[in-house]
Amino acid sequence: MDLTDQAVTGAGSGGTPEPGPSAPAPSKPRSPAPESPAPDGLSGSDRPRLARHVRLAFDKRRDCPVLLLPETVVVLNATGAAILRLSDGERTVEEIVAELGAEYAGVSEDEVRTYLAKLVGRRCVELVDG
């Protein structure tokens, strides 16, 4: 499953795609305590949703799903868009992973958590208390 997206700044003026964030340098694996949240800070019971200033849309010109932010467009791949469509503040991360697993082969809960954690860090997604 490829979860790499591209940001396009100045989208109204025909901005050019910038590559997504580069892969982090390899690090020593961590073993979280059994009751602590996942290393990325998200737990399976978190309920993600798009932040108020963010909108998921389909860009006809680019023929792909996009995330619209003030003065920025993030071009999404199909998997990233599927994750965000399910991130409605009602479903938990575990429920999102289960629904994706029914639709796609090889869905990794860790990849979904990491993807959502990056979007939380960019303030595109927020977590709802459940």
**pLDDT score, position 2:** 55
Query: Domains along the chain?
Result: 40-128 (3.90.930.60)
Question: Which positions ≥6 away from 125 have C-beta within 8 Å?
Answer: 48, 49, 50, 51, 54, 84, 87, 116, 119
CB atoms within 10 A of CB 52: 7
Q: What pTM value is reported for the model?
A: 0.70
The pLDDT profile of the chain, 130 residues, written as one tens digit per residue, is 555 566 655 444 444 444 344 434 443 333 333 333 444 678 888 999 999 999 999 999 999 999 999 999 999 999 999 999 999 999 999 999 999 999 888 888 899 999 999 999 999 999 997 6
